């Protein structure tokens, strides 16, 4: 996308609990995940107007992401990240999103394991 927005909204360290994993013990109870989002959007208009209607409502994005994640059950972090990206891109004004999902304690001797994906409305990731 040649004219991709250079402006970004960051939502960092969003914590949720969900079923994610392939092992039977991972499927029994919800586990912690930590989500970072970078929403690419053109923020010139809201920067000038100071009007919420002109920007991405990041509280609404957060609430929809949390609702989806906490009700989800996926085998792979990759699928969870993809669904989060889809929720974000459904919001008007979000042209591109970077999603990082970490699963603390997933591996012994590692603080966390995570995936990061980038998706855009145009499909030019």
Does residue 70 belong to any structural domain of this protein? yes
- What gap in Å lies between CA 65 and CA 39, rounded to an integer? 13
Antiparallel, parallel or unpaired: β 112-120 and 96-104: antiparallel
Helices (H), 1-125: 24-28, 44-49, 58-70, 77-89
Residue ranges making up the domain that contains 98: 8-120
Best CA proximity match to 41, nearest among 93, 86, 77: 93
Does residue 110 belong to any structural domain of this protein? yes
Active site residues: 103
CATH number at residue 22: 3.30.1130.10
Is the CA virtual torsion 110, 116, 56, 20 positive or negative? negative
Does residue 3 belong to any structural domain of this protein? no
Does residue 35 belong to any structural domain of this protein? yes
Instruction: Tell me, yes or no, if the pTM score tops 0.75.
Output: yes
Number of separate domains in the chain: 1
Instruction: Summarize pLDDT for 2-57 with one digit per residue, the tens.
Output: 565 689 999 999 999 999 999 999 999 999 999 999 999 999 999 999 999 999 99
């Amino acid at each position: 996308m040649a004219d991709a927005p250079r402006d970004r909204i960051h939502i960092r360290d969003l914590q949720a609990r969900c079923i994610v994993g392939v092992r039977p013990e991972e499927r029994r109870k919800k586990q912690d995940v930590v989500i970072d989002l970078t929403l690419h959007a053109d923020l010139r208009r809201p920067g000038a107007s100071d009007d919420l209607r002109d920007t991405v409502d990041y509280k609404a994005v957060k609430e929809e992401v949390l609702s989806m994640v906490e009700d989800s059950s996926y085998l792979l972090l990759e699928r969870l990240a993809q669904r989060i990206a889809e929720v974000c891109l459904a919001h008007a004004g979000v042209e591109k999103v970077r999603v990082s999902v970490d699963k603390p304690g997933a591996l012994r001797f590692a603080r966390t394991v995570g995936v990061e994906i980038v998706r855009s409305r145009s499909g030019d990731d």
